[in-house]
Structure 1
């Protein structure tokens, strides 16, 4: 197991990702904790199945728009 923090050069990672994009349509990145290797694997990966929360600001905007519409209906019929 690596004794220190893992460090990858940005240029090396960028080259690897560009090569993966050319070779495979969809891919994901994983760090192997046992060896410290950066793995670029084909497919969507496990995060593709995760339900991401909606943006709270977008919900607030939708609520404000709805409330404004209701208020305008009451004011102008």
Structure 2
């Protein structure tokens, strides 16, 4: 959702900065467009960082032979890394 919001902010800012040829006395639309484009870029970068951080997991697979039956026993484990150490 944050990546989409960043793209929307960037597009609205680009429209205000480059496509509109309006003059309003109480606000500079070009400056508002540049500010929205910068905010959109920041939101996209933060969204990508959070997305990359969310997908990081640790997967462990262990296969062993049960001595009593002789059959293979497989254990799969998946967990997120411990971030409290940072």
Alignment TM-score > 0.5, same fold: no
Larger radius of gyration: 2
Of structures 1 and 2, the one with the larger relative CO (CA 8 A, separation 6+) is 2
Give TM-score scaled by structure 1 length: 0.29
